[in-house]
Chains A and B, each alone.
Chain A
Amino acid sequence: MSDGPTPEELGAYVDEAAKRVGVPIAPEHRPGVIQFTGVLIASAVLVMEFPLPDDVEPAPVFRP
């Protein structure tokens, strides 16, 4: 696993993603959002780096 993003990189990600998703982040909420985004990105890296076989479908099943 890599060292992960720096706080500055996380801050830049939060600012850009929030703009794209249309979720305004108030300045007083930004440090907390950056902190938890760091936790979630670290979790996402653990998930993404795992080599899954191609034939594994997502768990949820939709029955029309």
Chain B
Amino acid sequence: MNGIVITTLLSVLLLLACGNSNNGTYKDYTDARLKVARSYADYASAEYDLLRATASTLNTRADAFTQEPNAQSLADIREALHRCRTLWQNIAPFQFGPAVDVALRSALNTYPTDIDRVEANISSNNYTLGSIENLDAEGYAAIGYLLYGINSSEQQVIENFSSPDASYRINYLLDLTERIQTLTEQVALKWASSSGEYYNGFVSKESLGTDVGSALSLIVNAYELYLQRFLRDGKVGIPAGVRSAGVPRPVAIESYFEGTSVSYLTTSMRAMKQIYTGEFGIDNYALYDYIVELDFQDLADEIVLQWDEVILLAEELEEPLQDQIASDNDAVLAVFLELQKLIPMVKSDMASAMGVIITNQDADGD
């Protein structure tokens, strides 16, 4: 009896479902996720390649500067550092896979730099880059300290690298730029579209679900983590004092010595928006498009609008950020709060609409 009931009910339901809706009943979700994975793999591939090339320039210019420290060679290496740090903003939200294997983010962009540690390493000329205790004595921020000093004039910096006892300082700078080049190259190689092993696995069929480890899950988790921890907290919240009982910590900004933090902040926000909308090339099928495909058009648009709000507000901040914090920290806090509004949209609504779990911990459910 029960069997007959079930069969009848199921067939009635089946007929109903097939009969009344011809539009939108079939969607190729695997194909949609393949397009997503490909767009982002191409993006990562291209951006890592740019970063690799620029890291190599930085390294070459470090050679040139240390061989002949003068105003021109200093300007050249400073320019290369600035380009590296700007490009880094584009790829910083893609920290998974090969980048995580070499801990790229902490090696390249740990800040604030521990000045005492840097000076101690230089004077001892005995250190292991990549060790935990040296994470805040290497990377872009440490190079920034070496090339700009604390309110030092160009002449002072040039003297630091040309005095008779500068050899340890020179070694340190060269070690820092070389390590950045090596790590960036390793990651870029794995992402290279023609030969990169990671690229191919990323767009393979097994990777096109939504489970932990799938391409979509990696993208969404990395995007959310970056938004929350590195953009909202690292670039804005922590310097503005949200984790220190409201007492601002201007030394905790991204580029304290160069004074270009606002520029990196807005670059990062624009990159995050572009990564979301797919405006990073021709015909890119991005998170936005996938959300629309899943019938969440309103949500998809709302996230774009919120990015616009955030960018508009951040563009009003004055460079350098430490001065802005000192003169009007409320403007910085306002950016923090506006960024905060994005978090539920991305972490709750977007992830849930996609069925992607925000946590890279694998666990059973029921």
Q: Do A and B originate from a single complex?
A: no
Partner-A contacts on B (CB < 8 A): none
Partner-B contacts on A (CB < 8 A): none
